[in-house]
Structure 1
Amino acid sequence: MTEIKRYDLHKNDPSKLHFEVNNARKYLDKNLKHAAIPHRHSFYQIIWFKEKGRHYVDFEVVEHEAQAVFFINKNQIHYFCPDSSNEGFLFHFNDEFINTHGPGRMERFSTTIFNEIGNRFLKIPATEIQKMGLITSYIESEILAREQNYREQIYHHFQTILYLVERLRSKANNFDLKSHPEYKMASDFKKLIFQWLDAPKSIDDYASALGTNSKSLTRICKKYLLDTPAHIIRQSKLLEAKRMLSNQKTSVKEIAYSLGFEDPTYFTKYFKKGTGTTPKEFQRKVL
């Protein structure tokens, strides 16, 4: 199995914009060797597919409609399916790009957009397609011209896209952050799981950290995440295990310890019970 690579966007170089927009089809043609096999990023990615097709996200091939927007979170594993049209646009950006112009703003978008809650993609309504296209064109022209204050202009235009997507996701999920603080708690719970992957924590521990009790946390998870806290934690651990197993250089024993398992043998049983295959078997067949 080939190791799944992790790519950065202008890492540790403050002189760079930490943002880019690409024609998806041209980008794939140029980077087919890397983009069409499982990989991950240290940055955020929004992919706007203008035609019907397929895209691979976290070990699942997702069938999508035309005018679909995917939100690829940091460290999610994905790739472009070469047999799809892949017509559209790619937006890449780091936390630095958003927070430089709007301090703390990325925390909001990580809750409302990059929360890995609900569907893998959002369908853009026909009434908003032209608007998305025009804003994207403005961003491309600013990047090309690089005139005075172009960084601020790019941020301004891209922020408009983020707020538009945020609004559409809110409508699709029938929630509003201000009137539905429980949705934020559900998102914070998912974040906390990945922060505590290396430590065995009880549901009460999670509830306490979120300022609630286990009964309320269970109700909120069932409402917004459609599952119980215990099962969500298990699935999150299994997903991270799959991501880590994609790296041939990391042994099953190392992965077990990094996920809070004191006994690698128990981790193997845990993984097999949840996936139907052992870690080593998964490692051999994932690609």
Structure 2
Amino acid sequence: MPLPLHRLAVPDPQSMPFAAGTFDSIGPLSRASFPHRHTFYEIVFVTGGTGEHVVDLAAHPLRPPHLCVIVPGQVHYWHEVSDLDGAVVLLTDEFLAERPRDRELLHALGEQPWRTLAPGDAGDIAAVVGHLRREYAALAPGSLGVLQAYLHILLVLGWRLGDAAAPVAGTGRAAAVTAQFTRLLNQPGGARRSVRECAARLGISMGYLGEAVREVAGHTPGQLIRRAQILEAKRLLANSPLTVAQVGRELGFDDPAYFSRFFRRETGTTPGDFRRGGRESTTITGFSPSIDPDEIRSVASTSSLT
């Protein structure tokens, strides 16, 4: 049970799986100072504060304004932060069910999750975030479509601001299969899955999974699984009290020696040396008290990863 997992639960069945507000209205978990991850997406527009935001081992100093995107599975926390101010947008995969391109944009932004904004860019982001918050607070007829439209504008603006890779191209079956495969790897325990298991979960042959992923991502499924295993191993080594052997077991390695050899082959260092080296200073790219339901119609609950 290495890291807390926060879920966005909606107590009212009629409410949409979405929330927008300030750090204060969303609640104390929006400022969590311990390493954790989400089952949902989080977009943060930071307008004030000091300290650091740590995302997948990379520490980002607060020099507002910033735009940050956290995707499901990524580990993050706020370190020695004071006077943190800004806006928070939360949404689940369900909210994106009919918006596959926005899901791809979110994951592209999650590859480089932290952006420092120029004054003019910050003004554009603030305007769109303000529209999102007001529309969410009103929840008038047709609000779902309006919120989805504003979210799309926010994501495109964020993507234009940095040098994030272009989202996965194409709308054909190969692109859809690759997106589904990536989501499997980002789920809790996803890095434990073999190529065979992933293909079975997707209802396709191993051969077609390999063809589709190579066509769209330029890598084999096995290469992407190994990348996910290394990223998850680094997350657990840096942020959990698990022993090296326990980290290996979390990733499906029953033999600690074999896990150590695998880690060294892929990274050039041993798990123990990586842990002793402390937090990394560069972003690792991979492919990601309760919120008050009376204030935002949503509640974040915590559980543990299995």
Q: Indicate which of 22, 28, 45 corresponds to 1:48.
A: 45
- Structure 2 segments unaligned to the other structure (5+ residues): 197-204, 280-306
Superposed CA offset, 1:117-168 (max 9, x none): 642224455444334333333443344455x42xx32651353133332254
Structure 1 segment 169-248 matched on structure 2, within 5 A: 169-170=159-160, 172-173=163-164, 175=166, 190-191=182-183, 194=186, 197-201=191-195, 208-209=208-209, 211=211, 220=218, 233-243=225-235
Identity over aligned pairs, percent: 20
Correspondence 1:1-287 to 2 at 5 A: 4-10=3-9, 14-24=13-23, 26=24, 31=28, 35-51=32-48, 54-63=52-61, 66-83=64-81, 85-96=83-94, 98-99=95-96, 103-105=97-99, 107-115=100-108, 118-124=111-117, 126-145=119-138, 148-149=140-141, 152-153=142-143, 155-157=145-147, 159-170=149-160, 172-173=163-164, 175=166, 190-191=182-183, 194=186, 197-201=191-195, 208-209=208-209, 211=211, 220=218, 233-243=225-235, 256-257=248-249, 259-271=251-263, 274=267, 276-278=269-271, 282=275
Report how many aligned residue pairs link the two structures: 263
> Partners in 2 of 1:33 and 1:178 — Cα distance?
33
Amino acid at match of 2:40: F
Distance 1:230 1:127, change over 3 A: same
SS of the residue 2:80 aligns to: coil
Tell me: CA distance 1:281–1:44, structure 2 relative to 1, closer, same or farther (3 Å): same
C-alpha RMSD over aligned residues: 4.6
The SS at the match of 2:44 is strand
Distance 1:177 1:239, change over 3 A: closer
Query: Following the alignment from structure 1 to structure 2, what is the Cα–Cα distance between the partners of residues 207 and 167?
Result: 38
Q: Which has the higher strand share?
A: 2
Q: In 2, distance between residues paired with 1:62 and 1:194?
A: 22
For structure 1, which runs of at least 5 residues remain unmatched after alignment?
Answer: 222-227
Q: TM-score, normalised by structure 2?
A: 0.63
| Contact 2:8–2:39 (Cα < 8 Å) also in 1 | yes
What SS is found at the alignment partner of 1:269?
A: helix
